[in-house]
Amino acid sequence: MSNLTGKVAVVTGGNSGIGYASAESLKAAGAQVIITGRSAEKVAEAAEALQVEGIVADVSQLSAIDHLVEQVEAGYGKVDILFVNAGIFAPAPIGQISEEMFDHQMGINFKGAVFTIEKFLPLLNDGASVINLSSVNAYTGMPNTAVYAASKAALNAYTRTAATELAPRQIRVNAVNPGPVATPIFSKTGMPDEQLNGFATAMQNRVPLKRFGQPKDIANLVVFLASDDASFITGGEYNIDGGINVNPLLAAN
């Protein structure tokens, strides 16, 4: 396992799913971990279970990010690992996309991610690792995901530019593109259980490995990218999707 002893890690959206699993794995590798989330109750529960610090912050609100940065600086001074994980998924077909839905998804998935990095930048140590949670949906053209996919494609473009500009400080910036992963993000869409189950079955059948990923699968990659083992890796996008993106014809069978 990668050694993160002495490192300080911040995980946005760390109270469930991929964020929770990554916080758990980062701590197991030796890091001091701070998780954030929008729900005070869920952040408190997760922080207690993980035995890490939890801070309530809604990344769609720049003032909340400012307050988060202030708290982290007061408690820890500097940050070595920033996992920009907070995000939402709200499916809608083209022709039924509302301005509110567009602003909400873009506000968290892209604007929130960009300004999380912008505002944490003064706290990042030289040689720090920034990891952005994106999605293979940035490339798949999956129906009903136009805005979600666009938010993740924008985040990947930002990742590449940020990696170039921050290289003089040896700050590495990479994106992780999961495929379908068993997390609560789908249940938060408001879709009825029957529709969710049908969606899950259809998605699983399209994955060449014929299973959903688990949050721990993504967490393992996050820990690697956060560590000195990945010291020559920046500006990269890493698909972790059971093969759905690299072999869509096989996945469709």
For 112-154, the pLDDT digits (tens) are 999 999 999 999 999 999 999 999 999 988 889 999 999 999 9
Top pLDDT among 109 and 207 is at: 109
For residues 251 and 202, the answer to whether their CB atoms sit within 8 Å is: no
For 166-204, the pLDDT digits (tens) are 999 999 999 999 988 886 655 555 555 565 555 555 566
What are the boundaries of each domain within the chain?
A: 8-183+213-241
Query: Would you place residue 12 in the very low, low, confident or very high pLDDT band (cuts 50, 70, 90)?
Result: very high
Cα(22)–Cα(178) distance, rounded to whole angstroms? 13
Catalytic positions: 148
| pTM for this prediction | 0.90
Top pLDDT among 82 and 2 is at: 82
Nearest-CA neighbor of 86 among 10, 156, 188, 11?
11
Q: What average pLDDT score do residues 56-72 get?
A: 97
Phi-psi region of 210 (alpha: psi -120 to 50; beta: other; left: phi over 0): left
For residues 236 and 174, the answer to whether their CB atoms sit within 8 Å is: yes
Which pLDDT belongs to residue 251?
Answer: 47
Angle at the Cα of 13 from the Cα atoms of 10 and 19, rounded to 5 degrees: 75
**b/e code 128-144 from CB counts within 10 Å (16+ = b):** bbbbbbbbbbbbbebee
CATH 3.30.70.360 fits 8-183+213-241, yes or no: no
